Structure 1
């Protein structure tokens, strides 16, 4: 099985997950890039038969990914793409997925997701000022990011017909074209009203344009890159770390909800996670709350007894002779 046949199989796999699995466009692009990297590695090491790799070969590929200095989540996604690809070949009766399934993904959440404390989120959201060219739009986008916990792609693709300001909620379309309803708090509603009703010169939305909520001054839809750029811009102004991204606000949204007492299932629904196991990463973030719950509800979890008050002067018991 040669390199050209592998490329053909990758194209067929992408057609399969797009037409039959209905995966989101961003997922298709990511898996395509991941498998292109695998194909490059196969050609580089001259793998004898990519349809039947050994565990030794696959371990060497994982080592190659580490040598590329990819982050643990990126390596895990590469392995997921690889597993799905080999399962596709198994459906075609051309390969076995047994060896691939032996590979275990890296522990994604050894590192706790970056979370901003509420005061830092407030500083970021209020960073757009009236003197900025698009301050109404940018303020509304930041408010919606934190109010809903939506992904960057979900915010830039949010449609006017899916926003219900009077009722205080919006309808988001997430991965796999799955829809969910997410509340909008009063701050987000106020910012959206100001943006939708404001003048173009102060960053309001143009009257004419596409059906999406957030557009450029000329009425063109924004992209995830635009949203990332504006978050970086206002993070710099607010003095926040360079590592803060739109996804940081999503992490903060989930963590702050759990800190406030929301249950895990509710947060799962709001985030649009298919599995609650994904949502559970946020239970590792707020350790203080977990300790407080343990103290409150465990039969022996109460606070340690306070030491007795000091004896009044002159009342000390004399030492024994």
Structure 2
């Protein structure tokens, strides 16, 4: 269902009626586009004026499941409320489905989200002169670049790393695999570890294809990754409840707040489809790569 008429009208309304600056206009439009993307994901086949309050509630639940913090959800809702204000003024909607929604519906407490400068601070504190330093830096770059679960990180195989193509094959929940784009920073440090550090490890039988190994040549445990990240956060003076999952939520938050397409973010995270899997199998892989390069803070940096 095409929303271009309503969105273009909203853009003009913000510029001419509200007198907002270009950056503010673009921010409002990005938030409204997220509702449109959700409508497509759910295959609602509705114009914006036809959406109901329940549809808006489901949208907020979806944002929550992606990992967005409450304040980010509230900001997006504010933009959508402005959109419906415009639709009602222009008689493009007979009701306002956001009228009875005062705040985001938080269905569960989310882990903390790191700011980008905090992630950079943690990365900067890794001692690369120690044998585990390049490995730890590569791990954090990869988990943040790809939005991985910690189990997906520790189980990542060398044979599934297609760095030349800019992708990794990830095995997620239920042994389901997905193709996830990986940023240039993560590729750079993963290759340094793979080519310079890992060959010095006495690799135990059965772990030859595992990318990240402990000093005994075996696969890292999830607990070990948790300890590495927790110690780095403490060293950086970050007073938050940090875990490997924090990087997954930070990935989703930074991508969505930067303007990334919701379909692309959900595909990268490996969430279950909220409609049908066909939506995702038809997503262009080049589109996912471009999304990562454009909207991930470290996606295109070398």
For normalisation by structure 1, the TM-score amounts to 0.49
1:246 pairs with 2:244: yes
The CA distance in 2 between the partners of 1:221 and 1:113, in whole Å, is 26
Per-residue Cα deviation, 1:136-168 (whole angstroms, up to 9, x for no partner): 100000000100000000000001100012112
Match of 1:162 in 2: 160
Superposed displacement of residue 132, structure 1:
3.3
Superposed displacement of residue 260, structure 1:
1.3
RMSD: 2.2
**Structure 2 residues without counterparts, runs of 5 or longer:** 1-64, 66-104, 276-302
Counterpart selection for 2:134 from 110, 133, 136: 136
Match of 1:217 in 2: 215
The CA distance in 2 between the partners of 1:167 and 1:109, in whole Å, is 38
The CA distance in 2 between the partners of 1:141 and 1:134, in whole Å, is 10
**Structure 1 residues without counterparts, runs of 5 or longer:** 1-72, 74-106, 278-321
C-alpha spacing 1:167/1:223, structure 2 compared with 1 (3 Å): same
C-alpha spacing 1:225/1:168, structure 2 compared with 1 (3 Å): same
The CA distance in 2 between the partners of 1:169 and 1:241, in whole Å, is 33
C-alpha spacing 1:208/1:255, structure 2 compared with 1 (3 Å): same
Mapped contact 2:166–2:182 kept (Cα < 8 A): yes
Counterpart selection for 2:201 from 188, 193, 206: 206
Match of 2:180 in 1: 182
Superposed displacement of residue 196, structure 1:
0.7
The structure with higher relative contact order (CA 8 Å, sep 6+) is 2
Mapped contact 1:254–1:267 kept (Cα < 8 A): yes
Per-residue Cα deviation, 1:229-280 (whole angstroms, up to 9, x for no partner): 1001111111112411111110000011101111211111110110449xxx
The CA distance in 1 between the partners of 2:272 and 2:166, in whole Å, is 24
For normalisation by structure 2, the TM-score amounts to 0.52
Mapped contact 1:268–1:276 kept (Cα < 8 A): no
The CA distance in 2 between the partners of 1:171 and 1:148, in whole Å, is 11
